[in-house]
A and B are shown apart, each in its own frame.
Chain A
């Protein structure tokens, strides 16, 4: 009837119909006339308004609307296939409705408060949403029973499937809105399905999940629909929360789900478009369901589940490798493979729920298939396609391309973990594969050499065999590295327990001497050593990599460097660094049990460790000489060197090597090949050399060492700058290089600072700093040198200021002040308005701000004990404090503020550094702020305002943190006419609006709250006024009352407000309640 009317009528009739439809819908709601009612009406009217504005589709939309009510009225009548047209319209309007309610970000802007949106969403999700879902399920059921759907019906089917997906991806609001109202603001990406209890009956109905499995089986060949059906299944796989009454129901649900899943996945050939969806289903199950629930399902079922996961992982891995060979743009299998490997990591990490060895066989399979995919034929399938070996063209690889070890770090971490679980299988496997490749590589290089000797200059050598070997070794080293050791950042690296256990378990069968022989003879074939099979497998794996390294070194000695792979060189030193961090001089105290072979081979005070240190050092020195032209390799090499000396125990061994002293001398001479190294490598090398100097040595040796390492640096530098014609030759390339090398070395020295060497290093560096200031003047037109000079100061301040006592700190402040003065003089009137300028042209400004921030950081982190560390280095002197941190920093700020323009704040690094700096200043020297010159003061206040209103939330937080000390300062000064006092009044209004009226980030509540409270204390009358104004603008008496109550409660615990901590804490607590209670009420969208 309605349809006819709509079809026949023009626009006015349509509106009338809409209103009719609205009435129908309203009447169906059985709720009393409460807020619920009105909210619903508002949304509905809004929807009508929205339709009103879309004239061309008025017809359709009108029909949809009526269809919605039609559906709701007739859901029990099976008239679902009455009209395809009708179905489509109904589905469209339901989708639109869902969007409107789903989250605040999708809601249209019609001036409703956040709280209102939240309430509507909650009402909707418990009532209509469930009805829509049930309706959808019914429609899908109907479709799934049908054979031979025509195109039109398929299209409707698809729409409903998408609708189901939308419902299942709903971001459910918890029952009591409370402080969770914020959840509405959160993104709707990757929402797990966590409905309320009311959904129990609907979702725990086994038929519902079965339906989705059935639907998927039916449509899985349709790429688009399969995405939706798998997404529905993935959502159902993530079901958790109050919907489950107890653990038993969770176990039941999981068991049914896994059964359905296995029935769907087993025995089919997976379509490309299914890979990602299926891996999400597995991943969600493993992430969401607790281990005890997983293990509570029938054993056989769980085994099948893990078998299926294993099978899929291996198969996706192979397909991912194929994708790489074919260079596909869309790497669906790679993504799916990543996800499954990640799930494995989750699954095996908490393995106490499973009996020991439960996953071993699976781990072996996944590990084997990974290795297989990465090795060349015949052992592996790398670059194999269905038609045979794909000859990949040698592509150009830019320096920006990430190294495999970073690009695939997640995969490698999972595979390494699985390798440990199946150590019995995997460690010997890696060993034999590596040993085999070493022998082949050696042979191949020898053949090349003979060829070169026979016909020198014949040039064209086919490198295919070599490249294949290099690529094999590359992957084997990466996997070995991830298997034997973890990525560690900051924490003490430990030998993985599985590896330790494995070694201990076999230690009785192991011959220690042969093990040491295998380790100590990298030049010989492992299998040529008698009894080689009775050696510790872990040590043998390490020695296999040392054998690779040895072949590389010998090839270099034989002048075959051009045939070697820098990538493999990188892999070797990367591995050695990782290994050395964890295993070299293993600290018994860190382990319950320690493997005897480990302890004998590389424990403290062993010949083995001394030998390895010597070997590694030789490698480092050879690499730095040979590979200076390969930046990344040189960088990894010098990192290995740092690892060797950064711990005192290892450094003690290092300095006993003659090579170390040679390296130091060679570097000090600044002659080839070391001075070919890139500046960052030279810097790190200097750092390593300095760190090594703090190893245990007798006084004479130490004296001698510093004479070798540091003195030449000083001498060379003085020689250069003291030349009479220095100012004329300063721009000559050689001179500039000398200066640059010195400055880089100074940065390296600063980087090597530790608490026990700061006294020596600081005194040494101070001598340079004053000279550097002179250089600022000489090189004032050479920005890169100026930047480097400032960088030296930045590094010294960064690494050393926290250890400096008063008088030393003052020396540094003085030097910094002079630096700033020179900088300022040289920048006077310098124009910086180049609109096309890139960020790096402001490097100097960034560095200056960094320097000031570093100087200020002493106020937060200070390890100094009034020059305690310097005692004995010079007679105590009474510090006459002529320069303070405040002087330097404020001078610096005077300098920086005028140079910082709003345009510059567009550069993120400048912006963040700038706000960090001004916040630090406000926090540390609030008393200095009112004394600033007027224009500086203004621009500082403007910066704060800008930071709060239109920058990132990080910056906003910084600004809020700056307000508290400023307001406190005002309270202390009690000058009600100062400009700071007036400024804070303005900030009160800003913070008030931010908290009460705007969408607001919970992370900021504390910072905003503290600032707010201090400002309220300062401006009580203004605060009352703000509250009054806000209340008086409320027309709704209910809202008025709620707000008034909330404001009363807010300040109840702190009346009259005063700046003591207890009251402040009480206020912050009340503020939290206030935000939860009315925070969403006035925030309008």
Chain B
């Protein structure tokens, strides 16, 4: 139950998108183009005539479908930026004091922990959820919390086939889940580290 509460508070107030001035967008960042959440892969500016105002030319890739979208708009305009989440659910917060970095003892005595920093995240965020089953076109994923979620569709296309095939061969794989603007999908897989 406590986990669920964390989930509620962690997500509270986060809207699907927030506005941002076009000039403040960055390559590799996200933006909504033609109603779709996209990752910006190209960004350039131009102007009409020497004394014209800057316009921004954006090229983005839909994070779910991989489709390419383009848009051009005055650089003063606000664009919507989607709130993107990886693997949807937050796990438990932990805050051990740091004595080790990635399992090896820190090679020098004192200096690292400073200012009461919480080093929990040194372990890194959960990058992917472990796939433990496929049922009726839905994935069963093991969450960091130990719970299993079963509401995510097996993606269509090559990625879906690859997941199925690897799962059938008994490979242990991890699935990266992205969510943005009420949509959620598995977007990548990788082999589980032994």
Contacts A629-B22, A728-B125, A778-B125; A718 near B50 (Cβ below 8 A): no
Interface flag for B90 (CB, 8 Å): yes
Contacts A734-B18, A778-B124, A781-B127; A718 near B115 (Cβ below 8 A): yes
Contacts A734-B18, A882-B108; A728 near B122 (Cβ below 8 A): no
B50 and A397 form a contact (CB under 8 A): yes
B18 and A629 form a contact (CB under 8 A): no
Interface set, chain B 109-147, CB cutoff 8 A to A: 111-112, 114-127
Report chain B residues within 8 Å CB of A817: 107
Contacts A631-B45, A730-B125, A731-B86; A676 near B23 (Cβ below 8 A): yes
Interface flag for A630 (CB, 8 Å): yes
Interface flag for B95 (CB, 8 Å): yes
B49 and A394 form a contact (CB under 8 A): yes
A726 and B118 form a contact (CB under 8 A): yes
The 4 A-B pairs at the shortest CB distance, nearest first, are namely A724-B93, A565-B51, A728-B90, A629-B75
Contacts A728-B91, A729-B10, A777-B121; A770 near B51 (Cβ below 8 A): no
Can you spell out 9 A-B residue pairs with CB atoms less than 8 angstroms apart?
A396-B48, A566-B53, A567-B51, A628-B23, A724-B120, A725-B6, A734-B83, A778-B122, A781-B127
B24 and A731 form a contact (CB under 8 A): no
Contacts A398-B44, A467-B49, A629-B76; A767 near B115 (Cβ below 8 A): yes
A724 and B118 form a contact (CB under 8 A): yes
Interface flag for B161 (CB, 8 Å): no
Interface flag for B187 (CB, 8 Å): no
> In the docked arrangement, what's the CA distance between A892 and B175, Å?
33
A733 and B29 form a contact (CB under 8 A): yes
* Contact among B10, B83, B115 with A728 in the assembled complex (CB-CB below 8 Å): B10
Residue of B nearest to A630 (CB): B54
B101 and A821 form a contact (CB under 8 A): yes
Interface set, chain A 811-867, CB cutoff 8 A to B: 811, 814, 817-818, 821-822, 825
> In the docked arrangement, what's the CA distance between A726 and B24, Å?
24
B24 and A676 form a contact (CB under 8 A): yes
Contacts A724-B93, A767-B114; A471 near B50 (Cβ below 8 A): yes
Contacts A396-B48, A629-B21, A725-B90; A811 near B84 (Cβ below 8 A): no
Interface flag for B65 (CB, 8 Å): no
B83 and A562 form a contact (CB under 8 A): no
A726 and B121 form a contact (CB under 8 A): yes
A727 and B28 form a contact (CB under 8 A): no
Beyond A629-B21, A721-B117, A727-B125, 8 additional contacts (C-beta under 8 Å) are: A395-B48, A397-B48, A629-B74, A726-B118, A732-B14, A770-B114, A778-B122, A811-B111
* Contact among B51, B101, B102 with A467 in the assembled complex (CB-CB below 8 Å): B51
Report chain B residues within 8 Å CB of A811: 111
A732 and B84 form a contact (CB under 8 A): yes
> In the docked arrangement, what's the CA distance between A724 and B94, Å?
7
Interface flag for B97 (CB, 8 Å): no
> In the docked arrangement, what's the CA distance between A629 and B23, Å?
5
B115 shortest CB reach to chain A, Å: 6
- Interface size classification for chain B: 35 or more
Interface set, chain A 667-713, CB cutoff 8 A to B: 672, 675-679
> In the docked arrangement, what's the CA distance between A675 and B23, Å?
10
Report chain B residues within 8 Å CB of A770: 111-112, 114
Contacts A732-B83, A818-B101; A774 near B48 (Cβ below 8 A): no
Report chain B residues within 8 Å CB of A934: none
Task: Determine chain A's interface SS by DSSP, over half rule.
Answer: helix
Interface flag for B81 (CB, 8 Å): yes
Interface flag for A780 (CB, 8 Å): yes
A727 and B50 form a contact (CB under 8 A): no
Binding site for B on A (CB under 8 A): 394-399, 466-467, 470-471, 474, 562, 565-568, 628-631, 672, 675-679, 718, 721-722, 724-734, 736, 740, 767, 770-771, 774, 777-778, 780-781, 784, 811, 814, 817-818, 821-822, 825, 882-883
Binding site for A on B (CB under 8 A): 6, 10, 14, 18, 21-24, 26-30, 44-54, 74-76, 81-86, 90-91, 93, 95, 101-102, 106-108, 111-112, 114-127
B74 shortest CB reach to chain A, Å: 8
B53 and A630 form a contact (CB under 8 A): yes
Report chain B residues within 8 Å CB of A562: 53
A774 and B53 form a contact (CB under 8 A): no
Report chain B residues within 8 Å CB of A725: 6, 10, 90, 93
* Contact among B47, B51, B107, B115 with A471 in the assembled complex (CB-CB below 8 Å): B51
Report chain A residues within 8 Å CB of B76: 629
> In the docked arrangement, what's the CA distance between A467 and B52, Å?
9
Report chain B residues within 8 Å CB of A781: 127
Residue of B nearest to A469 (CB): B51
> In the docked arrangement, what's the CA distance between A771 and B85, Å?
23
B147 shortest CB reach to chain A, Å: 15
Contacts A397-B46, A718-B115; A731 near B85 (Cβ below 8 A): yes
Report chain A residues within 8 Å CB of B115: 718, 767, 771
> In the docked arrangement, what's the CA distance between A304 and B184, Å?
82
A77 shortest CB reach to chain B, Å: 66
A264 shortest CB reach to chain B, Å: 40
Report chain A residues within 8 Å CB of B106: 818
Report chain B residues within 8 Å CB of A774: 117, 119, 121-122
Report chain B residues within 8 Å CB of A471: 50-51
B75 and A630 form a contact (CB under 8 A): yes
* Residue from A398, A399, A677 having most chain B Cβ neighbours under 10 A: A399
> In the docked arrangement, what's the CA distance between A398 and B49, Å?
10
* Residue from A629, A676, A724, A770 having most chain B Cβ neighbours under 10 A: A629
A399 and B48 form a contact (CB under 8 A): no
Report chain B residues within 8 Å CB of A394: 48-49, 52
Residue of A nearest to B21 (CB): A676
Report chain B residues within 8 Å CB of A727: 91, 120-121, 123-126
Report chain B residues within 8 Å CB of A736: 29
* Contact among B45, B107, B124 with A780 in the assembled complex (CB-CB below 8 Å): B124
Report chain B residues within 8 Å CB of A721: 117-118, 121
A722 and B117 form a contact (CB under 8 A): yes
A710 shortest CB reach to chain B, Å: 14
Report chain A residues within 8 Å CB of B22: 629
A731 and B84 form a contact (CB under 8 A): yes
Report chain B residues within 8 Å CB of A732: 14, 83-85
A631 and B54 form a contact (CB under 8 A): yes
Residue of B nearest to A722 (CB): B118
> In the docked arrangement, what's the CA distance between A725 and B90, Å?
7
B95 and A399 form a contact (CB under 8 A): no
Report chain A residues within 8 Å CB of B52: 394, 397, 566
> In the docked arrangement, what's the CA distance between A362 and B48, Å?
38
Report chain A residues within 8 Å CB of B47: 396-397, 566
B125 and A731 form a contact (CB under 8 A): yes
B90 shortest CB reach to chain A, Å: 4
B182 shortest CB reach to chain A, Å: 16
Residue of A nearest to B10 (CB): A725
Report chain A residues within 8 Å CB of B116: 722
* Residue from B51, B95, B119 having most chain A Cβ neighbours under 10 A: B51
Report chain A residues within 8 Å CB of B14: 732
A678 and B10 form a contact (CB under 8 A): no
> In the docked arrangement, what's the CA distance between A732 and B120, Å?
18
Report chain A residues within 8 Å CB of B29: 733, 736
A724 and B54 form a contact (CB under 8 A): no
B39 shortest CB reach to chain A, Å: 11
Report chain B residues within 8 Å CB of A734: 18, 83
B104 shortest CB reach to chain A, Å: 8
Residue of B nearest to A400 (CB): B44
A403 shortest CB reach to chain B, Å: 10
Residue of B nearest to A882 (CB): B108
> In the docked arrangement, what's the CA distance between A774 and B87, Å?
21
A465 shortest CB reach to chain B, Å: 12
B122 and A777 form a contact (CB under 8 A): yes
> In the docked arrangement, what's the CA distance between A474 and B75, Å?
22
B44 and A675 form a contact (CB under 8 A): no
> In the docked arrangement, what's the CA distance between A119 and B27, Å?
60
B9 shortest CB reach to chain A, Å: 9
